[in-house]
Structures are given as structure tokens and as C-alpha cells.
Amino acid sequence: MSAPPDLPDVVSRAFDVSRKAGYVSFCRNETGRLLAMLAATRGGTMAEFGTGCGVGTAWLRSGVRGDRARILTAELDPKLAGAAQEIFHDDPQVEVLAADWSTLLDKGPFSLLFLDSGQPNEVGVDEVADLVEEGGLVVLDDFTPCEVWPPITGGRVDTLRERWLTDERFTTVEVMVASDASTLIATKR
Ligand SMILES: C[S@@+](CC[C@H](N)C(=O)[O-])C[C@H]1O[C@@H](n2cnc3c(N)ncnc32)[C@H](O)[C@@H]1O
């Protein structure tokens, strides 16, 4: 057995900032590695709704190839946004906005959109379909794996997951990133 691969430097810095801020609501490393891999397939502008303290942004940044792709990320809580800005203050490829995610509505189309504002019902497929370029990706985090159809969460039909998995504008798959966690990845058709 060998140790898992080290965290990228930018992700370690984001964890340090999170720790200082006492903030723990960040994406898990399994999702982070998936974000990095997906970001490595992208050019253009990527976006994140809900920066938190910048851990997910850092994972995306760790995957970016070259010096042209950009990441825009919006965080409603100005204190958290300020903390995340610290991580990327000297990085021209990342912009952290202290703002509601709707600020990003006129900044697309995006090559990748990570929806992680923690209020999933607010950001449905209709709200973002036109924000994503053709062939662009949408990533949604924090699902519990479910083998039945329609998907059930907390005893109710998970209509958000059901809509993403059936919307004809996207080809969407649910991917387990751990035995207790899954992510939706959607490609705009
Ligand atoms: C799950 S955390 C984000 C974690 C982060 N994406 C990561 O992977 O490390 C959700 C964040 O979304 C923010 N948020 C909630 N509603 C928002 C909105 N309307 N616009 C922007 N950010 C929002 C919350 O303040 C919170 O910090």
C-alpha cells in the first residue's frame, strides 16, 4: 500500500485559509480530484456558484492547463469571499466575487459550471441551461447514491436529480465518488 497522492499546493493553501476561518463546508477530496480532472479538459471560462473558502475553486485551479482558461466564482458571504480572495490574490486566472451567483448570469457561456451554493433547489436546470456552452459541463455535488428510480432522498423523490438526469438539453450521469457520495456530471448537447 502507498499513501494517496499529495494535495496540490493551491488546495493545501485553501485548506489553511478554511481552517483559519473555522469553515468546514468544503467539497470532499474525491470530488475535488474529479473537478481537477474535468477542469483539465476545459478552456475558456469556468464558473462556480458558492465559493465557500475556496477549496473547490482551488481544486478546479489545480487542473487548469495553460494560462488562458479562467475561473469565476461567486460567494454570497463577504467574509468567506474575502478569505477565498486571499488564496488567489496574485492569480490572474481566478476571480472571486463577493456576490450572489446571479451576478455571473451575464458572464457566460461557461465551459464548466460547478453548482455548489448549498441551495440546490434554487439552481435548477432551467436557470443554467443557457449559461453553458455546447459541450460544456455542469457538476453538482453532495448527492447520496441511490439505486432506485425515481431517485429518493430523505423519503421523497429527489426532483432536482430526476430533472438533471432526464433533461434533453444535457447528457447527465451520476458518478459515485465514494461509497456514500455521488456527483452529477452533465454535458450540454
Ligand atoms: C457547500 S458551500 C461551498 C463549498 C465550495 N464550493 C467548496 O467546494 O469548497 C456553499 C456556499 O454557497 C454560498 N451561497 C449560498 N447561497 C449563495 C448564493 N445565492 N450565491 C452565492 N453563494 C451562495 C454559501 O454562503 C456557502 O459558502
d(CA 49, CA 118): 9
Q: Which residues contact 109 (CB under 8 A, 6 or more apart)?
A: 44, 45, 130, 131, 132, 133, 136
- Residue 143 in this model has a pLDDT that exceeds 60: yes
Give pTM, 2 decimals.
Answer: 0.96
Separation of 1 CA from ligand 1 center, angstroms? Answer: 36
DSSP state at residue 8: P
Burial (Cβ within 10 Å: 0-12, 13-18, ≥19) of residue 181 = middle
Q: At residue 10, what are phi and psi to the nearest 5 degrees?
A: -65, -30
Separation of 40 CA from ligand 1 center, angstroms? Answer: 23
d(CA 74, CA 81): 8
Tens digit of each residue's pLDDT (9 = 90 or more) over 12-40: 999 999 999 999 899 999 999 999 999 99
Strand partners, 139: 114, 185
What is the per-residue pLDDT for 91?
A: 98
Tens digit of each residue's pLDDT (9 = 90 or more) over 82-94: 999 999 999 999 9
Q: Is the CB of 52 under 6 A from ligand 1?
A: yes
Question: All 3 cell numbers of residue 70?
Answer: 479562467
Q: What is the mean pLDDT of the chain?
A: 94
